[in-house]
Amino acid sequence: MAWNPIHHSAEENTKWSWLRAVEWIEWPLFLSQPVVPVLLYFYPWPSVLGVTALTGFLWRLLVVPNFISTALAGLGPVFVVLKYVTAPVIAFLLWRQNEPWIAALALLWPLAGPFVLQLVIGPFYALFAQSARGKASQIGIVQERFMAALGYEKHH
């Protein structure tokens, strides 16, 4: 079910836009909550975390300044709910394969993984923070773009 701004107050639309902007800026890390545990079952953990971090960095550098999608952003929170299934199931399977550390990583990923990766790649964001791309990737700017996509005009 897509967000319909007509059925919500300006305050609700502002809150929705802010939440989606926060998620959109870090979308690969946000979406990694149900995905990384599954990938840990099939691939070595350094590769999974490295590709996830690189994807997050490239997303913020190349996609966020140029593109938003209210439809995709609205689906993100629905998709992330899968973490309540994938993380414990994969952790159990890894534990049964005598991989307790990887099982713990899979189980705890939705709680701390995206945040930790954000801390790791955060200094790289600082390198372009004052550029046009960096400024276009700030929460307030992205929120304004979501509000505009919902039909609101920017007020100064």
Range 88-97 contact pairs with CB under 8 angstroms and sequence separation of 24 or more: 90/37, 90/38, 90/40, 90/41, 91/37, 93/41, 94/40, 94/41
Compute the distance between CA of residue 68 and CA of residue 76 in angstroms, rounded to an integer.
Answer: 13
Which whole-number Å values give the CA distances from 40 to 28, 36, 118, 123, 136, in the listed order?
16, 6, 19, 25, 33
What pLDDT, on a 0 to 100 scale, did the predictor assign at position 81?
96
133 close to 61: Cβ distance less than 8 angstroms: yes
Q: Is 154 domain-assigned?
A: no
Q: How many domains does the chain have?
A: 1
pLDDT average per 10 residues of sequence, the chain (156 residues): 82 94 95 98 97 94 94 94 97 98 97 89 84 88 93 73
What pLDDT, on a 0 to 100 scale, did the predictor assign at position 129?
82
Q: What domain range includes position 18? A: 8-149
Q: Is 58 domain-assigned?
A: yes
Q: Is 124 domain-assigned?
A: yes
Q: Name the token pair of 14.
A: 């502002």
